[in-house]
Structure 1
Amino acid sequence: MTVLVVLSSSVLAWVIWTLISLLSNYLTARRIGLPIIISPVSSLNPYWILTYRALPILPLLQSLPFNLGKWSRCTYMGWSFDDKYLLHKELGSAFTLVTPSVNEVWIADSDAAYVVLSRRKDYIKPAKMYQPLAIFGPNVNTVEGDDWQRHRKLTAPSFNEKTSTSVWDEALRQAGDMLHSWMERSTNGTRDTVAHTATLALHVLTGAGFGISYSYGKGVQTPPEGHDISYRDALLTVLQSVVLLSTVPRSWMTFRFSPAKLRKVDQATKEFQLYMAEMLINERSQIHKRSSQSRNLLTALVRASEEAKESSHEISHQGLTDDEIFGNIFIYNLAGYETTANTIATGIFLLAAYPEWQEWVAEEINLVFDEEEDSPGGRYEEAFPKLRRCLAVMFEILRLHGSNVYIPRTTGSVDSALHINGKNYIIPSGTFTMTNLQALHTDPRSWGLDSLVWRPSRWLVSTPDTVASGYTKELIEPIKGTFLPWADGPRVCPGRKVAQVEFVAVMVALFRKHRVQPVLMEGESADAGKERLRDIVNDSGLSAVTMQMRCPRAAALMWRRVE
């Protein structure tokens, strides 16, 4: 009886708290003046996340009469990928989502989005969303203010043309080996495209980024002395366990009766930390023996930090501490692994579903490269600027199927004025401002009536120079705030160019002399097979970190050589 009373009292207290919080946040939202949706839960509520992922509750809520369940349309992770611009078409360029924990202003106005991402001191990264990523130490993604300026200044030089050259060469090598493994499967094809592109992205990171090279087909190697697992396997386990590492205390992983998975993650984390410490010691010992511009991300990071320390009397405020270097190494890997792998895999599925765009890309590749040339991808500095169709494919993937679907910011401790669709609004302190990438990327006002159609050629336009040179058209420059896969403003992703170089190199290696198509099921027509691929791509959802295809193994892809 006592337990029942305690339980009932707890539920009643929660209901009262929810109602009071909702009322308070609703009154605050009224003062903003934007359309309002009231939700009894936040999309970040862990109990709500577990509920809608375990039970088919969302369709039931959304079918309730009188729009009683409208809130469920925009309070699950990744909702904007499913909705595109439709909710904003109903409510306007911005609306306020009122929840018990916080108010969220969702923005699909290009001018307002650009302002939010440009004014980093007025619209800051919400600490509670990003702090879990400081697993190995503070990094450019988790700090703000003066600390962010210091991290940005010291990490940005790591992404230079020397690094791009290394990424180009390594991506060509890895993609060539990956293609060879696919060709060996003949008509059976492969259902592991996503897993294989993940391996490719991981090896490009370890090779071009940190100087540890692995053969594509022989990633598992004997660990060096003093280690139980290889750097590659330690890194892979850490990257695949971000949610566990950011939510489960490390001490729990070492309990004698902890599940084997937790103990494996703990071991990998310790090994990765040890590898980073060894690499740091080695880089510092070699730093004065190398040229001023390094082809290695880690070397460039350590060099920039050490030079900053040597030029300042306030060492602790100018360079990076060891923990900060470890934190940035981790965030480099996290940012460059899953997002790039997803983009490459999605591109392969879409090009298999639209063979006409394969020929379009291959035409450019063969125009840039001599058919008799032995080198699979030429020199980076000569080839990359000419491969505009390959970049157009990447941009069109990111427009409709990007790894990120929104960018969160918060107004912090002060109110902030924001101009939205011709009118000024005061956004109260403590309000989340959510830049809705999917709505911006699919808005017909910016992208035309076919905004939901995957059409890479929309990114290119003819100019006198391109016509005279014989090369393909120039890439367009989207209106500010309409295309934001790498964010914008001061906190734009520093690895943007590196990701583009890797993607283009992979396209060159794969489609210069080969084509991909779906393996048809019994009785399936070619058109139906391509439609099945499009359905698989469209059936994507937000995983722990990024948007991913839910069932990529539902289709096998077959590669063939063309002459």
Structure 2
Amino acid sequence: MLLGLVICLLFAPIILRLIHWINNYKEARGLGLPIVLTPFTEEDAWWLPLRPLFAWVQILPLGLGSWYVYSEFGWGLVDGRKTTTRLGENFVLCSPTSIRIVTCHAPAILQTARDFSDWLMPPAQSQVFAFFGQNVTSTHGAEWQRHRRITGPAFNERAMDEVWRESRERVGLLEPDKIYTLGELRKTFDMIAMLILTTVGFGQEAELTKIHSGHKLSFFDSLSFILENVIITVLFNSLKAPDWMLPSTLKRLKLSVSEFRVYMRDL
């Protein structure tokens, strides 16, 4: 009996997802558009760290693994025009969690962009990068207007001129004859980007690699770790478990997020 209970508990979520998937498929058929079925999307946060383990499904025969490309953030950039060339400029992406109409129809895109306040982004997408607080990408309506008023001046023409001036100055300090490895090049440009951000955005000349008093990591080390592990950050940024229970990566993530919050408050 205990074994039967364990089996039921293991298979219950799978059965529930299948029921949702079937119901969504029935509803999607009523739209009269081509349907792409995918068992997972980026809305399934638990799926994202597991996704690389299933890359092999892409080589399955009869296109059984063709859904894999639709299960990551920014799948449209990876897919390019393949799906729209095959199915047309409008199709439905149907998963157990959602029904999405995907369109490349220019008038529809224009109307959506023009009347953006009428088209709310699903929380699974809008709240992805809200782990440091609500912002212009995660809010709607009056709250979005407030964030836009605050952040707008940082993106005007005058600010962009300052960004390019600062960029030229920082790049000019590099050694032109030095041979960089790919890792060194990335780290160098990360540093340049952060220097420009703090100088133009916050009006400060910050020592990004220095570990300041009261900190355990430098600004650069904390932010670069977050950006290099953004999916893990999205999933585990609010982790409350004690350090001794965590693997080294999550322990470092917890410290980086905490340190970066303090640095941003100081700036």
1:24 aligns with 2:23: yes
Distance 1:31 1:209, change over 3 A: same
Match of 1:86 among 82, 98, 108: 82
Deviations, residues 69-105 of structure 1 (Å, cap 9, x unaligned): 4434534444433432122112111101211111111
Residue of structure 1 in register with 2:256 after alignment: 268
Deviations, residues 473-495 of structure 1 (Å, cap 9, x unaligned): xxxxxxxxxxxxxxxxxxxxxxx
State the 1:41 CA deviation.
3.1
- 1:322-337 → structure 2 map (5 Å cutoff): none
1:212 aligns with 2:201: no
- Percent identity between matched residues is 28
Cα distance in structure 1, aligned partners of 2:167 and 2:141: 35
Over alpha carbons, which structure has the higher Rg?
1
1:250 aligns with 2:239: yes
State the TM-score, normalizing by the size of structure 1: 0.43
Aligned residue for 1:106, secondary structure, equals strand
- 1:132-147 → structure 2 map (5 Å cutoff): 132-147=128-143
- 1:297-336 → structure 2 map (5 Å cutoff): none
- 1:135-214 → structure 2 map (5 Å cutoff): 135-178=131-174, 180=175, 182-185=176-179, 190-191=181-182, 192-213=184-205
Cα distance in structure 2, aligned partners of 1:160 and 1:151: 15
Distance 1:121 1:86, change over 3 A: same
Distance 1:150 1:110, change over 3 A: same
Residue of structure 2 in register with 1:101 after alignment: 97
Cα distance in structure 2, aligned partners of 1:190 and 1:244: 26
Residue of structure 1 in register with 2:224 after alignment: 236
Contact 1:73/1:79 (CA < 8 Å) preserved in 2?
Answer: yes
Distance 1:122 1:32, change over 3 A: farther
Cα distance in structure 2, aligned partners of 1:25 and 1:119: 27
Q: Name the amino acid aligned to 2:112.
A: V
Contact 1:202/1:236 (CA < 8 Å) preserved in 2?
Answer: no
Distance 1:19 1:134, change over 3 A: closer
- 1:44-55 → structure 2 map (5 Å cutoff): 44-46=43-45, 48-55=47-54
Match of 2:110 among 91, 106, 114: 114
Contact 1:38/1:99 (CA < 8 Å) preserved in 2?
Answer: yes
Residue of structure 2 in register with 1:40 after alignment: 39
**RMSD of aligned alpha carbons:** 2.8
State the 1:54 CA deviation.
1.6
Cα distance in structure 2, aligned partners of 1:73 and 1:265: 28
The structure with more strand, counted as a fraction of residues: 1
Q: Name the amino acid aligned to 2:141.
A: G
Cα distance in structure 1, aligned partners of 2:209 and 2:69: 44
State the 1:165 CA deviation.
3.3
Deviations, residues 278-330 of structure 1 (Å, cap 9, x unaligned): 33xxxxxxxxxxxxxxxxxxxxxxxxxxxxxxxxxxxxxxxxxxxxxxxxxxx
Q: State the aligned residue count.
A: 265
User: Any stretches of 5+ residues in structure 1 without a counterpart?
Assistant: 280-563
Distance 1:243 1:208, change over 3 A: same
Q: Name the amino acid aligned to 2:36.
A: I
Deviations, residues 343-376 of structure 1 (Å, cap 9, x unaligned): xxxxxxxxxxxxxxxxxxxxxxxxxxxxxxxxxx
- 1:387-402 → structure 2 map (5 Å cutoff): none
